[in-house]
């Protein structure tokens, strides 16, 4: 494996890590897979596009506002699709169907606004690459890596050391007991959706910068799901490890067998993981309570 592949893989893995972490955060707190995550990414990406291409915003304001927009969409989604289900203590089957439908709804709205066309972000860098020896680093990749790392470190700090973070952890441990201990569970859930949405928005902007934008961009979220499964569902460090692993693996596979067969092979890797180590790399498996 050459250094070039490692660098490209790390850049790809950092975006996957953003997707997987946002997804895992919701799973961690509410114990369901949020299939609307992809559509939230698409919304964030298009908000960023209209700011950058339409209003001529620079890189930093675009990222910041897209993140906030993603967070607001996350909260809105919670209000539309999950609030009553959480309040009713319904079986988590309903979360599943509700999140898929929410995804369809958001995607429908995006399609209505932009049509089924393809869009490209404006170029943020005059010179697109940095050359060090014979290694080529794309500036957008480097930027992605730095921002993802910063965002994830910030998230880690919040969850580990702040009061709100402790509340999130206790709600994810046991929602009912947390509420007995005087934690406002509803606001914790809202915060979780905001953070998850913000991460989705950030990931959306990065995907938009690196790929072409189209209304079904959200299907790239599958990579985040696979990373989550490899790392261990619901575990945040697991999601990051899984994502980096997946990014490296995918870059290597695209380099060796081509982009067509790479998805099939990464899927096989996931199946092998499920067979051999179902709890994922991180090892924390969420057990169903009796």
Partner 1 sequence: MAYMLTILTTTLITMISVVGVYLLTGMTGMFSLGQAAFMAIGAYASGLLVTKVGMAFPLACIVAVALSVGVGWLIGMPTVRLRRDYISLATLGFGEAVAALLNKATKLTGGASGFVGIPAITTFPMVLISTIVIIAMVAMFKNSKFGRQCSAIRCDELAAKAMGINVPWIKMVVFLFSVAVTAYSGCLYAFYTTYVDPSLFGWKKSADWVIMVFFGGSGSLTGSILATIILTGLPEALRFLSDYRSIFYAALVLLILNFKPSGLLNTWELTPRNIKSLFHRTDDVTGSMPTKKPMKN
Q: d(Cα 181, Cα 122) in Å, to the nearest integer?
A: 50
Contact predicate 66/201, CB 8 Å:
yes
| 105-144: contacts with partner 1 (CB under 8 A) | 105, 107-109, 111-112
User: Judged by CB under 8 A, does residue 261 bind partner 1?
Assistant: yes
Report the residue number, 111 or 149, with the smaller CB distance to partner 1.
Answer: 111
Contact predicate 281/230, CB 8 Å:
yes
User: Judged by CB under 8 A, does residue 270 bind partner 1?
Assistant: yes
Neighbouring CB atoms inside 10 A of 226's CB total 23
CB of 55 to partner 1, least distance (A): 25
Stretch that binds partner 1, among 126-134, 149-157, 169-177, 267-275 (CB under 8 A): 267-275
Stretch that binds partner 1, among 8-16, 175-183, 192-200, 223-231 (CB under 8 A): 223-231
Q: What backbone torsions phi and psi does residue 260 show, to the nearest 5 degrees?
A: -70, -45
> What is the sign of the dihedral through the CA atoms of 126, 132, 136 and 138?
negative
Q: d(Cα 260, Cα 224) in Å, to the nearest integer?
A: 19
Stretch that binds partner 1, among 145-153, 172-180, 185-193, 226-234 (CB under 8 A): 226-234
Q: d(Cα 6, Cα 19) in Å, to the nearest integer?
A: 20
Stretch that binds partner 1, among 168-176, 227-235, 236-244, 248-256 (CB under 8 A): 227-235
| Among positions 88, 89, 134, 163, the unique one binding partner 1 when judged by CB under 8 A | 88
Neighbouring CB atoms inside 10 A of 71's CB total 23
User: Judged by CB under 8 A, does residue 192 bind partner 1?
Assistant: no
Report the residue number, 2 or 219, with the smaller CB distance to partner 1.
Answer: 219
3-state SS, 28-45, equals HHHCCCCCCHHHHHHHHH
Q: Which residues pair with 129 in a beta bridge?
A: 138
Task: Please tell me what DSSP assigns to residue 217.
Answer: G
**Interface with partner 1 by CB under 8 A: which residues?**
27, 32-33, 35, 80-81, 84-85, 88, 90, 93-94, 96-98, 100-102, 104-105, 107-109, 111-112, 219, 222, 225-226, 228-229, 233, 258, 260-264, 266-268, 270-271, 274-275, 278, 286, 288, 290
């Amino acid at each position: 494996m050459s250094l070039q592949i490692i660098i490209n893989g790390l850049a790809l893995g950092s975006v996957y890590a953003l997707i997987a972490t946002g997804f895992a955060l919701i799973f961690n707190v509410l114990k369901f897979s949020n299939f609307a995550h992809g559509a939230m990414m698409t919304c964030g990406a298009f908000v960023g596009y209209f700011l950058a291409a339409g209003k001529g915003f620079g890189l930093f304001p675009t990222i910041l506002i897209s993140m906030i927009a993603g967070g607001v969409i996350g909260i809105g989604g919670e209000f539309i699709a999950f609030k009553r289900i959480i309040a009713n203590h319904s079986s988590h089957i309903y979360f599943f169907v509700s999140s898929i439908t929410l995804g369809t709804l958001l995607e429908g709205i995006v399609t209505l606004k932009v049509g089924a066309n393809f869009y490209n972000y404006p170029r943020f860098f005059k010179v697109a690459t940095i050359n060090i020896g014979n290694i080529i680093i794309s500036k957008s990749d480097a930027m992605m890596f730095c921002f993802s790392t910063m965002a994830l470190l910030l998230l880690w700090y919040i969850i580990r050391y702040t009061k709100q973070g402790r509340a999130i952890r206790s709600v994810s441990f046991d929602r009912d007991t947390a509420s007995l201990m005087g934690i406002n569970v509803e606001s914790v859930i809202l915060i979780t959706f905001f953070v998850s949405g913000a991460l989705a928005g950030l990931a959306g902007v990065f995907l938009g910068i690196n790929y072409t934008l189209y209304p079904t961009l959200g299907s790239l979220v599958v990579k985040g799901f696979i990373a989550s499964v490899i790392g261990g569902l619901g575990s945040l460090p697991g999601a990051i490890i899984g994502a980096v692993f997946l990014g490296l693996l995918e870059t290597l596979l695209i380099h060796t067998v081509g982009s067509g067969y790479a998805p099939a092979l990464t899927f096989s890797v996931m199946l092998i993981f499920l067979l051999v180590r179902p709890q994922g790399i991180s090892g924390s498996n969420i057990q169903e309570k009796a």
